[in-house]
């Protein structure tokens, strides 16, 4: 049973790779027809750069959040 599933997976993988190649070729032809200078079709996409905060910025954000929570907790105590 496992070999049957493996064969199905391999067949599906090969079929999808062939379809991917066809689509990339069509996209390349379309870009060429439109006058685009797209040298290579990226399939995965470019990685998104993660925004980095300085330690001071993180500390300021944390302090502001603690102040917001303190305000909410104080309002709950008064309401009781």
Give the pLDDT band (50/70/90) at residue 20: very high
Predicted confidence at residue 78, as pLDDT, reads 80
In the predicted structure, residue 16 carries a pLDDT above the cut 80: yes
Question: What confidence tens digit (pLDDT) does each residue in 24-75 have?
Answer: 999 988 888 888 665 555 566 677 788 899 999 999 999 999 999 999 999 9
Question: What confidence tens digit (pLDDT) does each residue in 63-74 have?
Answer: 999 999 999 999
Which token pair is 21? 């190649």
Ordered by start, the domain boundaries in the chain are: 1-46, 50-80
Give the pLDDT band (50/70/90) at residue 80: low
């Amino acid at each position: 049973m496992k070999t049957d599933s493996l064969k199905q997976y391999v067949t599906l993988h090969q079929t999808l790779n062939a379809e991917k190649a066809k689509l990339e070729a069509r996209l390349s032809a379309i870009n060429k027809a439109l006058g685009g200078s797209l040298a290579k079709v990226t399939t995965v996409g470019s990685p998104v750069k993660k925004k980095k905060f300085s330690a001071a910025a993180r500390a300021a954000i944390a302090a502001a959040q603690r102040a917001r929570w303190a305000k909410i907790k104080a309002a709950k105590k008064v309401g009781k």
